[in-house]
Amino acid sequence: MDKRPPGWPLLVALINGRSGIPDARLVEAVRDKVVLVTGSSYGIGEATARRLAAAGAIVLLVARTAEQLDVVASGIKASGGRAFSYPTNLAEPAAIERLVADILRDHGRVDVLVSNAGKSIRRSIADSYQRFHDIERTNAVNYLGPAKLVLELLPSMRERGAGHIVNVSTAGVRTPPMARWSAYLASKSAFDVWLRCISQELRHDGVTTSTVYMGLVHTRMSEPTPLLNSLPGLTPEQAADQVCRAVAERPHNITPPLVRPADALGNLLRVPTDRLFEQYFRRGNTRKRTQ
């Protein structure tokens, strides 16, 4: 039985946004388009791939877990859709070069890249002294891999004068920095800024970018953090709805309603907001020590 209080869906929408796209509009936008979705073995990427394929897109599935990609592809095909698996570790630049060569050979083009694969880590700096690899791994999947993939795809997109890149980012890069999320948020911020910079160079060649500053979504990624499980969050399908709107309508960004003022206030009041988060972190730590 659902034990959540009345008004919970409204709270979820207010905090995380619910800007979706009707089926008919999505079909019009993506039918017969070649759409590459990274991180499509699970979570938001899987739900996005399923929705795009149902709307008539030719979906290219990329992630490491080949068996899971095949499960997703089989499900799509069983429903009459088109999907192709390309198992790839996006932390390996050479594997990305092979991936793009294979895709261009097989399909001739990529109309839309949904850069969704990601790795999250929540760990205090005191627990990270021996874990430089946390920074390396988050950067490899959240920044360097996506940047390499864009670099490989851009020549063919620019040559055709058409292409769209959707970055599944996090609302966390728009709100004040938070203790324990340093490795994750720094790597997500890096790709966000990189893409915004190059976007200014691409528009005139017909290549556009959209960034979805996603709120909390209940997936495999958020599941290990007990605090997040109790907070209002989207389902993967609701999150996919936002990603699909970005694919179809090509907005500059999609941002949850409450994140815009938080972003503005955080920039205006940098010192007080940092102090506020500092207090929150210290209180949490003290409570942990006395338990």
Ligand X SMILES: NC(=O)c1ccc[n+]([C@@H]2O[C@H](COP(=O)([O-])OP(=O)(O)OC[C@H]3O[C@@H](n4cnc5c(N)ncnc54)[C@H](OP(=O)(O)O)[C@@H]3O)[C@@H](O)[C@H]2O)c1
Active site members: 184
Reported as type and span, the H/E element at residue 244 is: helix 236-249
Which segment (151-159, 175-183, 200-208, 214-222) binds ligand X by CB under 6 A?
214-222
Task: Kindly tell me the burial class for residue 146, based on how many C-beta atoms sit within 10 Å of its own C-beta (0-12, 13-18, 19 or more).
Answer: buried
Q: Which of 9, 23, 65, 272 is close enough to bind ligand X by CB under 6 A?
A: 65
In the chain, at which residue ranges do the beta strands (DSSP E only) sit? 34-38, 58-62, 82-85, 112-115, 163-170, 207-214, 253-254
Q: Which residues in the 228-287 window bind ligand X by CB under 6 A? A: none
Instruction: Decide: is 15 part of the binding site for ligand X (CB under 6 A).
Output: no
Q: Which residue has the tokens 């499980």?
A: 229
Instruction: Decide: is 195 part of the binding site for ligand X (CB under 6 A).
Output: no
* Cβ(85)–Cβ(37) below 8 Å: no
For ligand X, give the closer residue by CB, 259 or 290.
259
C-alpha closest to that of 217 among 15, 69, 6: 15
Beta strands at 112-115 and 58-62: parallel, antiparallel or unpaired: unpaired
Which segment (127-135, 155-163, 191-199, 211-219) binds ligand X by CB under 6 A?
211-219
Instruction: Decide: is 168 part of the binding site for ligand X (CB under 6 A).
Output: yes
Instruction: Decide: is 179 part of the binding site for ligand X (CB under 6 A).
Output: no
Report the nearest approach of ligand X to the CB of residue 237 (Å): 11
Instruction: Decide: is 45 part of the binding site for ligand X (CB under 6 A).
Output: yes
Instruction: Decide: is 12 part of the binding site for ligand X (CB under 6 A).
Output: no
Q: Which of 18, 82, 89, 123 is close enough to bind ligand X by CB under 6 A?
A: 89
Q: For the CA atoms of the chain, what is the radius of gyration? A: 19
Q: Which residues in the 99-138 window bind ligand X by CB under 6 A? A: 116-120
Q: Which residues contact 48 (CB under 8 A, 6 or more apart)?
A: 37, 40, 114, 116, 239, 240, 243, 244
Q: Which residues bind ligand X (CB under 6 A)?
A: 38-39, 41-45, 63-65, 68, 89-91, 116-120, 141, 168, 170, 214, 216-217, 219-222
